[in-house]
Amino acid sequence: MSKTLKQKLVAYALVLPAFLVVMLTVAYPIVSAVIQSFQDEKTGAFTLANYAYFFTEPAQRMNILYTLFVVIATVVIALVVAYLLALYLRFVHSGIAKSIGTLYLLPRFVPAMCAVYAMITIIRDSGLINRIGLHFGMNLKLGLMYHASGMIIMNLWFNIPFAAMMITAGLGAIPDSIIEAARDVGAGKFKVFTSMILPLSLKDVIIAGTFVFMTNVGSFTTPYLMGGNSPKMLGIALFDQFNKYLAYNRSAALSVIMFLLCSVSAGVYLHQPQGEGLGAIKKLAFFIGGFKSPLYFFGGSQGNRQKIPERRRPRRLGQAVAKLTLCRQAVF
């Protein structure tokens, strides 16, 4: 037996236990659920009735639409707030920013049950907010319990820190020298953000949104404690089909539907063009007024050039070329 073959066999032997565990605990249940979802409950014959039930029954169809509404609203709001928080943590160097950077992940370490119950005691009609309002003669019944808005607020508690953590990591990979080079050639803060920071961090935003979407499609704790009876989140609908109605084949079909929803979210990320963010930065060294004479960047007298403040002009041609080279290295 050759040495190369022996090394390959050893490598396969080391990987085999992990492969078997994955097949038994992940692949087999998924394949089994898919097969069961196409079987009739009584005869075991092939049927699409289990899937048709969730798209033709008005209550079940409403559950799907309701879940998508709650999840998409959570994703959009969480990403906007998380991105603003990540920008603050990345580019503001102050004691407050450092304190927030240390504490903003704490919600991720609070058990979900404890966090939901704490939120319930605050936002319910007889909760803390209403009791404080009564002291000032106001009856503040927010109506957030058993409503989509209450679940969205609770989802944001869990997902904003997670999304901010991922986006902050992406923003941290942008070198300060590149940003300084853009400012030196006359870029304002808004131009640097739209032409550089946003494109480079866009993929991290999409990754964060993908994980937030998948996490909330099958969420159970928050909808179980704060959701209403109708419509329901898909996690609760699946629980009812399996435990209350004992409809195992329909439960399998619903689990496949939820899996496909998550797969669509993952597919959005996987089909992102590689280097799209860097491609948007290719103009960085030449974005002020388009591709013009190099004199444009050094304060030369071009007819339609933008006036560059004196304090931002490189003092020497070599310094300017060095800074533009840094920008181009970030692109290519």
For the chain, domains (ranges, CATH) are 46-331 (1.10.3720.10)
| pLDDT of amino acid 1 | 64
Query: Which pLDDT belongs to residue 229?
Result: 83
Report pLDDT digits (tens) over 35-81: 999 999 888 899 999 999 999 999 999 999 999 999 999 999 999 99
- Computed over every residue of the chain, the mean pLDDT equals 81
* pLDDT single digits (tens) 138-157: 888 888 888 899 999 999 99
Percent share of the chain, pLDDT over 90 = 41
In this prediction, residue 322 carries a pLDDT of: 44
Q: What is the rounded CA–CA span in Å between residue 331 and residue 83?
A: 23
Q: Is the pLDDT of residue 34 over 80?
A: yes
Q: Residue 186 and residue 153: Cα distance in Å, rounded?
A: 41
Least confident of 66-70, 91-95, 201-205, 301-305: 301-305
Q: What is the mean pLDDT of residues 214-237?
A: 91
Mean local confidence (pLDDT), 6-23: 86
pLDDT for 264: 85
Estimate the crossing angle of helix 248-270 against helix 28-37, to 10 degrees.
120
Of residues 278 and 158, more confidently modeled: 158
Looking at the chain, the whole-number percentage of residues with pLDDT higher than 70 is 81
Q: Is the pLDDT of residue 261 over 70?
A: yes
Nearest CA-CA partner of 185 in 304, 62, 319, 9: 319
- Looking at residue 272, its pLDDT comes to 64
User: What's the rounded mean pLDDT across residues 306-318?
Assistant: 44
Cα–chain center distance at 151: 17
Task: For 113-123, write each residue's pLDDT tens digit.
Answer: 899 999 999 98
Give the Cα separation of 128 and 136 in Å (integer).
13
pLDDT at site 273: 59
For the stretch 240-257, pLDDT in tens is 999 999 999 999 999 999
Scanning the structure block, which residue is given the tokens 């002020």?
Answer: 288
Is 60 exceeded by the pLDDT of residue 294? Answer: no
Predicted confidence (pLDDT) per residue in 169-181, tens digit: 989 888 888 888 8
3 pLDDT band (50/70/90 cuts)? confident
Higher pLDDT, 28 or 305: 28
